[in-house]
Amino acid sequence: THLACGFADGTVRLFDLATRLHVATFHPQHGDRFGRFSRAVSGIIITDPRIIFATLDGDIYVAIIEGQHQARRAHIGNIVDDGSLVDFTGCGLWWVGLYAGVPGRAIHIWDGNTEELVYVNTTLTDRESLRGWHMLTELTEAIGRVRVTSQESAVACTSNKYMVLDLRNPAFPLHDRDSARGFIVNSLDTNNEAFIIVDNRGRAIVRRADTLEELCRFNTRLGNLMGCMNLGYALLCAAGVIRVWGIEHGQYLYSFGENIGAVNAMAGDDRHVAAASSNSTIHLWDFGAQ
């Protein structure tokens, strides 16, 4: 099992979770064509034996984890026609990109086996088009986020709406919801079948992705936060403190003892949770060791 971290210069560093050692570094093959942040890593997929990562200008790279540590460019970005690739995620079967900059081209889906682009559509980020271009040259707030479930669906959000897509039939979104309160983009995450999102008043709701059935809700009393899910738990970080809720009943459980400072990214799987703080430190928690 591996942990990967992407950086603003396009570099991806890979770590072995068992040994905590750095095992590989991957680099994009081309320079900053459209701005100082155009090579920034938008998202990473680890699906053994491959690692797939994308950059803000839309390029997608594939490498073999145990191979030569050379990243092959599988898709050449077309930033003029598509806008900025603001988030990228997926699994072995599907890759999903969230774009902002060109109306009507927010979601791109690729077949993960053939690497073929199979879908381009949705107006999810149309309101954020100008901000999408600004991301290439400026440090900006997150525009949107996309995550996948294990049921071949994707959940994507901006600060004012979210949608759920069936990756096998994305032309007909399963759900498309606006929010009067607005959402905290960095709070969105999924587990096998559900997703969490927090509104601007700190109210978190966990729903099943396929039906939108509400599984629980709770008040975080938190503002600017970063979140992820880990099996049956929601972990939300604000002001450097990570707090944990159980999603079966929405009960607050505990907070981590240490303050890790400002957080740039969080990720979780069934066993681990990782957070990258702004001082270039990676924090890792192993729930399987309990």
Token readout for 272 is 């681990």
The side-by-side arrangement of strands in the sheet containing 2-6 is 2-6, 12-16, 21-26
> Residue 146: in which H helix or E strand, if any?
strand 145-148
Tens-place pLDDT, residues 54-107: 999 999 999 999 988 899 999 999 999 999 999 999 999 999 999 999 999 999
Q: Residue holding tokens 């966990």? A: 206
Is the CATH number 3.40.50.300 carried by domain 188-290? Answer: no
Beta-carbon count within 10 A of 67 CB? 13
pTM over 0.85: yes
Q: What are the structural domain ranges in the chain?
A: 188-290
Beta-carbon count within 10 A of 119 CB? 17
Tens-place pLDDT, residues 217-232: 999 988 889 999 998 9
Q: Is the dihedral of CA 208, 211, 213, 219 positive or negative?
A: positive
Tens-place pLDDT, residues 244-255: 999 999 999 999
Q: Give the HSE-up count for residue 141: Cα atoms under 13 Å, Cβ half-sphere.
A: 11
What 3-state DSSP class applies to 130? Answer: helix
